[in-house]
Chain A
């Protein structure tokens, strides 16, 4: 399996995060955080700058704590590979209000673009399906991405989006974790006094 991705990651993120409303968004460290920030910084975006492998489980925690809201985890293939066991946990938990979108460039972009497992032998959508996710898909063109935008806000969907390995300029969101946490909590109305 070789990376066949051609899509521009910034265009994909801008499409997936268009008119987000009150969507809660968790982003995996590195480029997905920059992509979400470039699409428009907002308090209900919770950007990870570390905790690699934890994005999906943070999304599950939010989804379980806020069952009336939607959660979207936007992460990369390397981050998702590190947290692959969470796909089993999430499917078992059955959180209907959580979706995951993996921006898959088949690379570890932050450390020198080494090939990841998705560029070798691993099909993350197939992994999710085997874990019990009933809705999984892989998008390879922008029409398919556009169709994902609403599905990711409606279904418990695991979506892989094949993006190109081209790097974009860094667009850095805030990185003070206490600030990000506090403004996120205020945005969803659970701030402590």
Chain B
């Protein structure tokens, strides 16, 4: 599906809440979580990443500007450390 924004010069902006990379309990989340930045980059998406709360607003704003002003696909990965690991066992 990423052939669409890449070929057509369309802005594409996605925020990705990450799994499988920080205190992950569910092993089924790990393969895709590990591969996400590589897969997106290889498919032509510009990948940015936020690990600290203080950085989120600036990174999201700059990445949205990149996507819509330069008409390219951009993903911001909101890291699992940032959003917090899901608690499966209390």
**Stretch of A11-19, A46-54, A98-106, A134-142 lying at the B interface:** A46-54
| B9 in contact with A178 (CB, 8 Å) | yes
| A181 in contact with B8 (CB, 8 Å) | yes
B3's contact among A51, A176, A178, A180, by CB below 8 Å, is which? A51
**A67 located at the interface, meaning its Cβ lies under 8 Å from any Cβ of chain B in the complex:** no
| A181 in contact with B9 (CB, 8 Å) | yes
Q: Which chain B residue shows the least CB distance to A176? A: B7
> How many residues on A have C-beta within 8 angstroms of the other chain's C-beta atoms?
13
A46 CB, nearest partner CB in chain B, Å: 9
**A177 located at the interface, meaning its Cβ lies under 8 Å from any Cβ of chain B in the complex:** yes
**B87 located at the interface, meaning its Cβ lies under 8 Å from any Cβ of chain A in the complex:** no
| B4 in contact with A54 (CB, 8 Å) | yes
| B8 in contact with A180 (CB, 8 Å) | yes
| B9 in contact with A51 (CB, 8 Å) | no
Q: Which chain B residue shows the least CB distance to A178? A: B9
B72 CB, nearest partner CB in chain A, Å: 12
Give the CA-CA distance A171 to B70 in the complex, in Å.
33
Q: Chain B residues near A177 (CB, 8 Å)?
A: 4, 6-9
Q: Which chain B residue shows the least CB distance to A180? A: B8
Q: Which chain B residue shows the least CB distance to A184? A: B8
Q: Which chain A residue shows the least CB distance to B7? A: A177
- What are 26 pairs between A and B in contact, CB < 8 Å? A48-B4, A49-B7, A50-B3, A50-B4, A50-B7, A51-B1, A51-B3, A51-B4, A53-B1, A54-B1, A54-B4, A58-B4, A176-B7, A177-B4, A177-B6, A177-B7, A177-B8, A177-B9, A178-B7, A178-B8, A178-B9, A180-B8, A181-B8, A181-B9, A181-B10, A182-B9
